[in-house]
Amino acid sequence: MSKGRILVVEDDTDISNMLKIYFSAQGYEVTVAGRGNDALDRTRKQLPNVIVLDIMLPDIDGYEVCTRLRRTLRTSHVPIIFLTQKDERSDRIAGLELGADDYITKPFDIEELRLRVQGAMRRAERENLTSPTTGLSSGKMIEEQLRSLMRRKDWGLLYVGISDFDAFTDVSGFVAGDEVLRFTALLLSEVDDKLGGPDDFIGHIGGDDFIVITTQEKAAALAEAVTQRFNQEIGAHYSFKDRERGYIVVKDADGTERHAPLMKMGVGVVLSKDYEFTDIREITEVSAELRRKASS
């Protein structure tokens, strides 16, 4: 099971290859980007749990990368560790003022960097900002975005859930379940990247529940696209036999067997024009009810 996703942004291939080999051996999923714009593109499509970011890059510098990540809702919470040859106090302060979480200079101790990566990921989880499973925003970040809707107009909210997810995990185990959750997070990011807007927000509420905040204009198309893709591609997580018969066999506590259908996605869509909300609990209640109807 992966310990988390690390994005290494470094144009020195010797360093980036060394970090990829080392952290992969430690159980992390490691992606490498050699340019700042490549890093922004990769982060938008699949959120890492932490970014190790060199300041000196061939196109835009690490400061600019950090600034853009912090200004974008979808990436504003991702921990960033600056990696640079500069050791001036002013450079460290500049990076931290832009929102970086930590700073380490070259040449660095690989064990120290490992501990800093672990610390950044733990802080994000402890502060209830990210889901340790999917890397998406969670907890406080979701609450903040829901509160912001009270001051906005023309928004659309997708409350996304996976029906029969519990039956799947009962049979296949929590590791397989986590793989489905990560697949769902990636799917939501890919679809929103194609059909949504740069200010859209994607969060993992918990369990098999996710949230997407977009505009009224884009909400329906997003809901249709994510549902269609999920229902088409989820079969890859089942055996050939289960896919062919269209169900799995679940044994209850007393040994009784029952048939559970393959997982499907249900999406409740809430548009600001259809409701007047005064509290975020009203939004969650309405969206949860619409999601249940979509799943039935």
Whether 49 is covered by a domain: the verdict is: yes
Cα–Cα distance for residue pair 182/247, rounded to 1 Å: 22
Whether 237 is covered by a domain: the verdict is: yes
pLDDT (tens digit per residue) in 138-152: 888 899 899 989 888
Whether 131 is covered by a domain: the verdict is: no
Tell me what pLDDT residue 90 has. Answer: 66
Task: Kindly report the CATH number assigned to the domain that includes residue 29.
Answer: 3.40.50.2300
Q: Are 157 and 211 in contact (CB under 8 A)?
A: yes
Domain extent at residue 82? 5-126
Give Cα 250 distance to the centre of its chain: 30
Same domain, 73 and 147: no
pTM (two decimals): 0.75
Q: In what order do the strands lie in the sheet with 80-84?
A: 29-33, 5-9, 50-54, 80-84, 102-105
Cα–Cα distance for residue pair 180/186, rounded to 1 Å: 10
Whether 267 is covered by a domain: the verdict is: yes
Average pLDDT over residues 41-45: 88
Please tell me whether the peptide bond between 198 and the residue prior to it is cis, using omega within 30 degrees of 0: no
Same domain, 96 and 174: no
Q: Which residue has the higher pLDDT, 124 or 34?
A: 34
Same domain, 30 and 105: yes
Query: Looking at the 3D structure of the chain, how many domains does it have?
Result: 2
pLDDT (tens digit per residue) in 176-229: 999 999 999 999 999 999 999 888 999 999 999 999 999 999 999 999 999 999
Whether 245 is covered by a domain: the verdict is: yes
Same domain, 116 and 145: no
Q: What percent of the chain has pLDDT over 90?
A: 66
- Average pLDDT score over the chain: 90
Q: Which of 69, 74, 288, 287 is CA-nearest to residue 192?
A: 74
Reported confidence tier of residue 252, pLDDT bands at 50, 70, 90: confident
Same domain, 146 and 117: no
The torsion defined by the Cα of 219, 225, 230 and 236, in degrees rounded to 10, comes to -160
Tell me what pLDDT residue 87 has. Answer: 62
DSSP secondary structure string, 107-143?
Answer: S--HHHHHHHHHHHHHHHHHTT-B-TTT--B-HHHHH
The torsion defined by the Cα of 3, 4, 5 and 10, in degrees rounded to 10, comes to -70
Whether 14 is covered by a domain: the verdict is: yes
